[in-house]
Structure 1
Amino acid sequence: MKAELTFSIVTPSYNQGEFLAETIESVLGQAGDFAIDYLIVDGGSTDRSVEVIREYQRRLDQGEWPVRCREIRYRWLSEKDAGQTDALGKGFRMAEGDIFAWLNSDDTYLPGALQAVAERFEEGGDTALLYGDAQYCDARGEVIGRYRTQSYDYGKLAWFNFICQPAAFFRKEAFLAVGGLDATLHFAMDYDLWVRIARRFPCRYLPKPLANYRLHETSKTVSDRTLIANCEEAERLALKYFGWAPLTRVYNTCSARCRANLPNCFAASRVALLAAVGVCTIARSLRLNRGIRLRDLALLNRENFGKLGKSRLEIMTGNKDQDC
């Protein structure tokens, strides 16, 4: 007899009332033969986030929301926290499902996502981490690109996180076995978790669009205010787990640093910017890796050279800078 599957989805939220209703509806609207344990962990928002959260609680309680899966358990809290990773930790400690995931308060699941994931987990009984495709959208919800997901290859995680967080799902047992999320991380906690799970358990790729990953001016992924720390954290984790800081990750760090710190007259010049980033990348790579790594030679390919001088947003989406 087929076991009943329950998804525990955690949404960390702070002052994202503009997008939160769309996120919640994308979870509650999932249809299929599974149950949903949905936990929203709000960090004490000062906008209308709590009002939005309460409204969906009311709809569920009064039977106004059409439940299209076996069951929905909707829980939430709103209190001060120490950031996104702390909020996620609270949610996962409360979670009771078989399959864990988190969906940030500006991202959304695509229709049919959870049913597709449930079917694949049932087919591959030993799968600990399953990830699918995702598309980038802007603040208005318009699709602006596709996340560069690819078939699973543990070694490639060193230089590129091809596992898109809103399109990733993992078994509770694997999450607990590796110690959950690292509370000291603020940006690359997902990448860190993927690597720790992948070192011990089978991971698989589901070639199907599962989620929308929203990019806007306050996104930690693209915000100038957090970009340097974001890149440095991922670079440090690659060095920790794989024993080297790949050239691609060093380049990302140096590009972010140079764009932020060079005088405007230099940063505006593509030639000057490339020269500065190039010098910084070589120097930083030699220092972190204590010399030249032969594995970096494989990264000196046409695809990576084509990224030189492009902004992070253009590299991610394939489009030029735009108003997210």
Structure 2
Amino acid sequence: MAAYNAARYLPTSIGSVLAQTEPDWHLVLVDDGSTDDTEAVAREYKERLGDRMTYVRQKNGGPSAARNTAIRVSSSPLIAMLDADDVWLPDRLARAVEIFEREPTVGLTYGGITRFREPDVTVDTFYGNSGKAEGYVAERIYTRSMEVPCSSVTIRRKCLESAGMFDETMHATEDRDLWLRIAQRFKVGFVPEVHVRYRMSASSQSADPLRMLQTQRFFVDKHYGEPGCGWRPRQEALARIYRQQAEGFADRKEFGTGLRNALHALTLAPWQTANLRTTASITLRSLRKR
């Protein structure tokens, strides 16, 4: 668990670890230079849990640096991710362990999530990806045609040793970057149930569309030419990025900017009907506004 100014969320997130039906766990919490009461809350739990918890405080370096520290400090053959403001459901670990024990070639597992806003308003639920959701799915991760929610992910340590750790130069999309590198080498397994509650925040990085566009394009360019990342997947990945940008601007009634992004997506991958649908939808909405 990487935590930054997460004092108010830690009792719930750590509590969800304590509630796991899988008894064999060790919590590593890295405080990434918090300026609130995160350290005080974390040390209270450390005192309570003793050897079942490791607490590390470091200078702020961002999520990738904090997660890498947690991985290096840990020693378990399986590593499960939990963002400090998210919540695991009780069978979260047990169901992931079952897949690893059953499938020795699986390097990473993930599952469904429910997204919510405070105080406890459900936004939507991700039950799983349509189409191929597991196996060798590197191309689908690259094209963003499948989602792999971070707090639902568990990884074999030996797969991290092969694929590498989180890229600390990336300050967004760093999780997809790692999932791709693992998927290029190992099978991905899917837990067909919801086992995480994901907290949405207006201050999240996804609330900054320009920054997300830049980091997502960096991710696509970084891996272009690698296994599963050829020309057609690159076009589809970029088209999806611009289509999502278009939909976001249209939802904010910025139809001109939305339409420009939609047309760019259509130019990149004209064979994808979703790009045509988005372009037509935004055009109609713009005309109705007039």
| TM-score for both structures, normalised by structure 2 | 0.81
1:149 matched to 2:149? The reply is no
Q: 1:259 to 1:77 in 2, by over 3 A?
A: same
Amino acid at match of 2:140: K
**Separation (CA, whole Å) in 2 of partners of 1:234 and 1:305:** 26
Amino acid at match of 1:229: Q
**Separation (CA, whole Å) in 1 of partners of 2:103 and 2:187:** 10
The percentage of aligned residue pairs carrying the same residue is 21
Q: 1:234 to 1:215 in 2, by over 3 A?
A: farther
Aligned to 2:27: 38
* 1:162 maps to which of 124, 135, 147: 147
Aligned to 1:113: 92
Matches within 5 A, 1:229-268: 229-237=214-222, 239=224, 241=226, 242-244=229-231, 245-247=234-236, 249-253=238-242, 256=245, 268=253
Tell me, yes or no, if the aligned pair for 1:228 and 1:257 is still in contact at 8 Å: no
Q: 1:21 to 1:209 in 2, by over 3 A?
A: same
* 1:19 maps to which of 9, 31, 39: 9
Matches within 5 A, 1:172-187: 172-187=157-172
Tell me, yes or no, if the aligned pair for 2:114 and 2:196 is still in contact at 8 Å: yes
SS of structure 1 residue aligned to 2:160: helix
Amino acid at match of 1:190: D
Matches within 5 A, 1:1-324: 11-32=1-22, 34-61=23-50, 73-147=52-126, 149-150=128-129, 151-152=133-134, 154=137, 155-160=139-144, 161-224=146-209, 226-237=211-222, 239=224, 241=226, 242-244=229-231, 245-247=234-236, 249-253=238-242, 256=245, 268-270=253-255, 272-281=256-265, 285=268, 296-301=269-274, 305=277
SS of structure 2 residue aligned to 1:130: strand
Tell me, yes or no, if the aligned pair for 1:127 and 1:204 is still in contact at 8 Å: yes
Aligned to 1:8: none
Amino acid at match of 1:29: A
How many pairs align? 271
SS of structure 2 residue aligned to 1:233: helix
**Separation (CA, whole Å) in 2 of partners of 1:183 and 1:308:** 39
Tell me, yes or no, if the aligned pair for 1:251 and 1:277 is still in contact at 8 Å: no
**Separation (CA, whole Å) in 1 of partners of 2:158 and 2:65:** 20
Structure 1 residue 251: deviation in Å? 4.8
Deviations 1:143-168 (A, max 9, x none): 21123632226132232242221111
SS of structure 2 residue aligned to 1:208: strand
**Separation (CA, whole Å) in 2 of partners of 1:307 and 1:211:** 34
SS of structure 2 residue aligned to 1:200: coil
**Separation (CA, whole Å) in 1 of partners of 2:263 and 2:271:** 19
Tell me, yes or no, if the aligned pair for 1:98 and 1:172 is still in contact at 8 Å: yes
**Separation (CA, whole Å) in 1 of partners of 2:83 and 2:174:** 13
Q: 1:191 to 1:309 in 2, by over 3 A?
A: farther
**Separation (CA, whole Å) in 2 of partners of 1:120 and 1:255:** 32
Structure 1 residue 103: deviation in Å? 1.1
Q: 1:256 to 1:139 in 2, by over 3 A?
A: same
What's the RMSD between the two structures over aligned residues?
A: 2.9
SS of structure 1 residue aligned to 2:42: helix
In structure 2, stretches of 5+ residues that fail to align are 283-290
Tell me, yes or no, if the aligned pair for 1:12 and 1:84 is still in contact at 8 Å: yes
**Separation (CA, whole Å) in 2 of partners of 1:227 and 1:257:** 13
Structure 1 residue 113: deviation in Å? 1.0
Tell me, yes or no, if the aligned pair for 2:246 and 2:262 is still in contact at 8 Å: no
